[in-house]
Amino acid sequence: MLKDMEVMAVLPAKDIDRAKEFYRDKLGFEPERTMPDGGVVYRCGKGTSFLLYQTDNAGSAKNTQLGWASDDVQRDVDELRARGVVFEDYDMPGLKTENGIATMEGYGQAAWFLDSEGNILNISSMPS
């Protein structure tokens, strides 16, 4: 049953207005729907979407919470940087970024950034 349903990611925001501004101004999203509690749904490619809602728990996860599939990570990093997005740098076993982008054998490229609420987001490509 679940495997045939559309999936919606859910992201927390401590300050929903600040978060909506970040997603509009930095990432280029406009809400598809506003929920009664002030949360918003954003539509992405291929029928995917995510919900942004207000909670004090935002920014507490230490893992990637939402990712977008890219066919050109460098191009997308450059475009997002031009909008003011700051990319994270990592240097740990199995993961090292150069200029914000990690190249991982068998996994392609990936880059991570934080939204205004401290949520970890990424863009990545998978080799064919």
What residue spans define the domains of the chain? 2-124
What pLDDT, in 10s, does the model give residues 54-110?
999 998 999 999 999 999 999 999 999 999 999 999 999 989 999 999 998 888 999
d(CA 77, CA 13): 23
pLDDT value of residue 128: 65
- CATH class for the domain made up of 2-124: alpha beta
What pLDDT, in 10s, does the model give residues 4-18?
888 899 999 999 999
pLDDT mean across residues, the chain: 94
pLDDT value of residue 94: 85
User: DSSP assignment of 21-88, as one string?
Assistant: HHHHHTT----SEE-TTS-EEEE-GGG-EEEEEE-TTTT---SEEEEEE-S-HHHHHHHHHHTT--B-
d(CA 127, CA 106): 7
SS (H, E, C) 27-38: CCCCCCEECCCC
* Bridging pattern class, strands 120-124 and 64-69: parallel
d(CA 104, CA 111): 11
Q: What is the token pair recorded at 49?
A: 């979407």
pLDDT value of residue 107: 84
